[in-house]
Amino acid sequence: MHLHKYKAHTLPVYVMAVLLFGTKTYVMYRFVFSIHMDNVLQEFILFINPFVSAFLLFGLSVWIKNPSKKQAYIRYTALIGSFIIYGNLVFYRSFTDFLTIPQLFQMSNANDLGGSVLSLVKVYDVLFFIDVVLIWRLCSRQVSTFLTPYQRGRKMFVLSVSLMLLSLNFLLAEMERPQLFTRAFDRAYLVKNIGLFNYHIYDLVVQSKTKTQRVFADGNELPEIKTYMDQHIHLDQPSELTGIAKGKNIIFIWAESLQSFVINNDVKGQEVTPFLNELTRDEDTFYFENFYHQTEQGKTSDSEFLVANSLYPLSSGAVFFTHAQNDFYAIPEQIKDIDYTSAVFHANNKSFWNRDQMYERLGYDHFYDQEAFAINEADKIGWGLNDESFFKQSIPYLDELEKPFYAKFITLTNHFPFELDEEDRSIEPYDSKSSTLNNYFPTVRYMDEAIETFFNELQSAGLYEDSIILIMGDHYGISANHHKAMGQYLNQETLTPYDHIQLQRVPFFIHIPGYGKGEIVEDIAGQIDVKPTLLHLLDINTTDDMYFGNDLFQKEHKGFIALRNGDFVSEDYVYASQSCYKRQTGELLTKDGTTPFTEDEAVDPCADLYDQVKRELNYSDQIIYGDLFRFHDFGTQR
């Protein structure tokens, strides 16, 4: 008892708060967030950085003279800090990623998330706030410790120790990962090395810096970017299919959360996507089996941005929110010159992802949002109107559009958390420990059946023969948080970074009624390639255009598909999580049979492409952050 009193009286409350809050944060890092550790130094850095951040935050209390304000500061620092961690946790459960400043400005979307957010909140989450309760009680019990003001020398000592610990943390982080702060796209690496709170401060600085880029941009950056495009990308030789879509309606289906692993696959002996499977073998269809989504935090909106502009999304936030006032030269605007009408069909709130503003900026003529559809209780599934009713109700609007038209349909049923009533299921859920993966298969099957029905409706309405139909998975549906269950489904004990990249493949179909020469295309492709492919199918000259994709029907390509986090896929290699793999076999390339290459080693066969990928992503960022298209003359096309 005497020892207990001694500790209580000699250990400052802010130090006890550091120990409690730091321990909680470390436990969250190590056992709740899936932060991968490669070596002992990483383990040590991850262990110390929660306490470094906590000491800096709570240590500032020694400079507060008023006892009640000092007490309040410690209490609310613990509470607010815990909510910051918890907000990241909820976000991480869905996206396996950490929040960014632009993401916080997208919280207007939360009004429409409904059950998706609730499904990410667990009953046991209250345990994450136990340290907050203890800190509040300590502040109440140790009131006397707040009455004695700290001497200036002690204040300076606490501040000095805080800064020394922070410097040590940063030094170790730089030793473990040189040029760490130039790799802002890798948020997991930043959190692992400098901690969640320092990461958020760093993110704030980066975002503030990017906001100034538009102010100081003058267009002088464009010639270098245009030269790069002319050398590596703009290979405008006509292909056999150039102009085949001229005068045809273009119907583009955004298949929500559809990944390629379900195509020509089954669950419990039943086909997951029987109609899409049939399309892969259809003589009028091109199916790209190695087609990758390239989205980041903007998910569906990122895929829309990629397709419309053939520019990369941002590494944090969504362009639809952060740069909706930029000048773009997107597909809807370009096809006006050949007298096409454009429209989007999406039975959701028009402001979700800021679509109402961004669609106008991209040049769409019509947007049929949830107000255009009759949504009754019988037709509701998950996020809103079920896909079957959505397509059926869209046909009259589609028939009324001035022809030829470009119409985009964004489905809803196959959306996280993949809810589907038993009576709507055509196949049973899977039986892993992941309810997300289990429920994914029935909703995918529902969407597959709805797309088949839509094809039939188009034929009945007389729209099918004069249209070309594209179907694309917009982004992944099953995140890395469910790798264990996914491994079970794929009959693999563990999933490597190579396997994770392969799971980023999404289906892409181009269906041309009456063509008769369709095939399964094995070449690597991505969402960045859709714009030039589609424009050339429409026989639109792109000489003065600026984009980073290739026409998928041309023989020459730049040779890689870049993912937004810096990973990439080439014809021969896959670069993932700083390791280089053979694409065809998944074999990890090593120096001595045990040590993976890193991107800094010249002998790494991925090294040269890694530099080009970084360069291309950087050029795209320059265009967006600087709003550079306002300085570019798009010639007679505009």
Active site amino acids: 300
Phi, psi of 31 (to 5 degrees): -120, -10
256, 414 contact by CB (below 8 A): yes
Give strand pairing partners of 229: none
Residue 124: other Cβ atoms inside 10 A:
6
- In this structure, what token pair is assigned to residue 149? 């003001």
144-147: long-range contacts (C-beta < 8 A, 24 or more apart)? 145/9, 145/12, 145/13, 146/13, 146/67, 146/68, 146/70, 146/71, 147/67
d(CA 353, CA 106): 7
Cα 321 to the chain's mean position, in Å?
14
d(CA 582, CA 600): 18
Q: Which of 570, 545, 566 is nearest to 635 (CA)?
A: 545
d(CA 388, CA 406): 21
Amino acid at site 196: L
- In this structure, what token pair is assigned to residue 619? 């050029």
Give the DSSP letter string of 204-226.
HHHHHHHHHHHHH--STTHHHHH
- In this structure, what token pair is assigned to residue 226? 């245009």
Q: Is 248 left (phi over 0), alpha (psi -120 to 50) or beta?
A: beta
Is residue 490 classed exposed, middle or buried when 0-12, 13-18 and 19+ CB atoms within 10 A define those classes? middle
Q: Is 264 left (phi over 0), alpha (psi -120 to 50) or beta?
A: left
Question: HSE (CB half, 13 Å, CA atoms) of 275?
Answer: 15
**What is the 3-state secondary structure of 289-352?**
CCEECCCCCCHHHHHHHHHHHCCCCCCCCCHHHHCCCCCCCCHHHHHHHHCCEEEEECCCCCCH
Question: HSE (CB half, 13 Å, CA atoms) of 268?
Answer: 10
